[in-house]
Amino acid sequence: MKCSALKLCSGIGLSVFVAFAPQLQATESESFLIKNATLHTATAKGRLDHADLRVANGKIQQIGVNLEPQEGDKVFDATGKHVTPGLMNARTQLGLVEISAVESTNDTSTEMEGMGASFNIAPAINFHSTLIPQNRTNGLTRALVMPYNGNNLFAGEGALILLRSEKNGLIKQRAVQSAVYGSAAAGMSGGSRAAAYARLEKALSEATYVRSNLSQFKPGIKYEFSQSLDDLKALIPVLTGQVPLVIEAGRADDILNLIALKKKFGFKLVVSGAGEAWQVAKELAEGNVPVLMDPIANIPSFDALTVRLDGAAKLYEAGVKLIFTGGGTHNAYLVRQSAGNAVANGLPHTAAIEAMTINAAEVFGVKNYGQLEPGMDADVVIWDGDPLEVTSNTYAVFIQGERQSMVSRATRLRDRYWQLKGSQTGYSR
């Protein structure tokens, strides 16, 4: 819910949110100054204590100490509080799924023939999903929305979104191409990952051919390729390096094979899942391959027997760029709990913040987001404690400078059943 009008927000507050309304009142949020906070900047400056941050016109204007409010600034005393960029989860199905098991609300994948790499997920994103406020009120302001694989190794094209309940939440469609390798890919390739590898390689070779001979291909003609022509065309931005190719893989050898594939075709590879990535950390670092992972996921599988809680720390030490996911889609905001566990297992706190903000922004081409730095979009979250700590809650959430409502369907239910205790509105017991 856009919260730009004071009346709208306070109206919501009065009806259902009185008992637990945050101390801060909703504002026009044209400009504001956060005073005396611990800033997690996600820049080389790292963490700044007792620092101030000023926002105007939707952008971060200034960071420093003892900043003076300018005319019209709302001032937040954030003593004892922490501030981060709005968090980003880089592997979600936000907007694609409301209730996972209810098919009519689930648009995560397609099994349509000829629609693999060209499956652009963006039109399916429902910005009025209840998952958007659920995650936004908990500090997530951006997400990468990725399709799941249907029956093609290429899942399709993911989108970058702002967690706003309106159409302009779409920042960028076709932001990323997604594929799968390992045992899941073997299952789609007749039973062996060697066949899956050959198919990936073939698709990229064919896309290279199509790219070089684009004018030869005419509509209405069926061509003999391993993928549909649309799918091969969709891989051209991958070959040109405009769009990263995220490939799911766990086993160390699988990851090495993907690095070889990257070398052959020169695309921007991101390895996702990556349970055994720590074992090939050196090769990943040398190959400039970021890893997209949920650092709390430490249950061994036959695709990742050596997965471990300090995997993220080991990758970081080797110089691999980390991008975090976690919490699934419904609780995509819990990426911060995953990040906290990475820190508990040796990752520097600053690196964990970067893995939920600037790193994803850099790899996936999100402009003006991901750091507390003048000029950046003011996606800003004020936390009542350490943002990685499970006992911390959001105190205020801003997206591009706009204060967001803290109401979600869940808070509505909470308030109905706590305040009414079954005594009104026909819901007595």
Partner 1 sequence: MKVSRLVLFALLSVSAGCQPEKPHEKVEVKRPEPVFVSTYKPLPSKSMLFKNATLLVGTGERIDKAFLFIKDGKVVEVGKSVAVSPDVEIVDVKGKWITPGIIDVHSHLGVYPSPSHKMAEDGNEMTAPNTAEVWAEHAVWTQDPGFNLARAGGVTSMLVLPGSANLFGGRGVALKNVPSVTMQGMKFPNAPHALKMACGENPKRVYGSDGRSPMTRMGNVAGYRKAWIEAVEYKKSWDDYYKKAEQGEEVEPPGRDLQLETLKGVLEGKIRIHNHCYRAEEMAVMIDIAKEFGYKISTFHHAIEAYKVADLLAENNICAAMWADWWGFKHEAFDTVTENVAMVDKASPNACAIVHSDSAIGIQHLNQEAAKAMAAGNRMGLQIKPKDAIRWLTLNSARSMGVDSLVGSLESGKMADFVIWNQNPFSVYAKAEKVFIDGALVFDRDDKSRQAASDFELGIEDPEGERL
**CB 165 to partner 1: min, Å:** 17
Given the complex with partner 1, which of 164 and 251 has the nearer CB atom? 251
Torsion angle (degrees, nearest 10) of CA 195, 196, 199, 203: -170
When binding is defined by CB under 8 A, the residue of 98, 283, 317, 373 that contacts partner 1 is 98
**CB 347 to partner 1: min, Å:** 12
Closest C-alpha to 242, from 209, 285, 211 = 211
When binding is defined by CB under 8 A, the residue of 11, 114, 300, 319 that contacts partner 1 is 300
Does residue 425 interact with partner 1 by CB under 8 A? Answer: no
When binding is defined by CB under 8 A, the residue of 62, 192, 390, 424 that contacts partner 1 is 390
**CB 414 to partner 1: min, Å:** 4
Given the complex with partner 1, which of 121 and 252 has the nearer CB atom? 252
* Choices 29-37, 223-231, 260-268, 329-337 (CB under 8 A): range interacting with partner 1: 329-337
Does residue 393 interact with partner 1 by CB under 8 A? Answer: yes
x/- mask, partner 1, residues 121-160, rule CB under 8 A, reads: ----------x-----------------------------
d(CA 201, CA 239): 12
Classify 387 as helix, strand or coil.
coil
Classify 73 as helix, strand or coil.
coil
Does residue 388 interact with partner 1 by CB under 8 A? Answer: yes
Sign of CA dihedral 375, 171, 158, 339: positive
Does residue 223 interact with partner 1 by CB under 8 A? Answer: no
d(CA 156, CA 170): 17
Classify 134 as helix, strand or coil.
helix
Does residue 100 interact with partner 1 by CB under 8 A? Answer: yes
Per rule CB under 8 A, count of chain residues that contact partner 1: 43
Residue type, 353: I
Are the C-beta atoms of residues 13 and 412 closer than 8 Å to each other? no
d(CA 276, CA 258): 13
When binding is defined by CB under 8 A, the residue of 99, 112, 194, 198 that contacts partner 1 is 99
**CB 21 to partner 1: min, Å:** 11
Encoded tokens for 8: 């709208």
Does residue 344 interact with partner 1 by CB under 8 A? Answer: yes
Characterise 352 by phi-psi region: left (phi > 0), alpha (psi -120 to 50), beta (else). Answer: alpha
Are the C-beta atoms of residues 231 and 117 closer than 8 Å to each other? yes
* Choices 238-246, 282-290, 387-395, 396-404 (CB under 8 A): range interacting with partner 1: 387-395
**CB 299 to partner 1: min, Å:** 5
* Choices 159-167, 194-202, 305-313, 359-367 (CB under 8 A): range interacting with partner 1: 305-313
Neighbours of 216 (CB within 10 A): 10
Does residue 301 interact with partner 1 by CB under 8 A? Answer: yes
d(CA 314, CA 114): 40
d(CA 204, CA 362): 24
d(CA 358, CA 41): 10
Given the complex with partner 1, which of 268 and 336 has the nearer CB atom? 336
- Beta strand 170-180 pairing with 82-85: unpaired
When binding is defined by CB under 8 A, the residue of 126, 173, 331, 368 that contacts partner 1 is 331
Burial code (b: 16+ CB inside 10 Å, e: under 16) for 161-198 equals bbbbbeeebbbbbbbbbbbbbbbbbbebbeeebeebbe
d(CA 34, CA 84): 12
Question: Binding to partner 1 (CB under 8 A): which residues in 6-25?
Answer: 19-20
Does residue 281 interact with partner 1 by CB under 8 A? Answer: no
* Choices 6-14, 75-83, 108-116, 406-414 (CB under 8 A): range interacting with partner 1: 406-414
Given the complex with partner 1, which of 362 and 384 has the nearer CB atom? 384
Encoded tokens for 84: 């981060």
Are the C-beta atoms of residues 339 and 107 closer than 8 Å to each other? no
Encoded tokens for 359: 């790193």
Query: Which residues lie closer than 8 Å to 361 by C-beta, 6 or more apart?
Result: 88, 367, 369, 370
Does residue 392 interact with partner 1 by CB under 8 A? Answer: yes
**CB 138 to partner 1: min, Å:** 9
Question: Binding to partner 1 (CB under 8 A): which residues in 308-327?
Answer: 308
Encoded tokens for 276: 């055994």
Question: Binding to partner 1 (CB under 8 A): which residues in 21-60?
Answer: none
When binding is defined by CB under 8 A, the residue of 101, 213, 224, 428 that contacts partner 1 is 101
Q: Which residues sit at the interface with partner 1, rule CB under 8 A?
A: 19-20, 97-102, 131, 296-302, 305-306, 308, 329-331, 334, 337, 340-341, 343-344, 388-393, 410-411, 413-414, 417-418, 421-422, 429
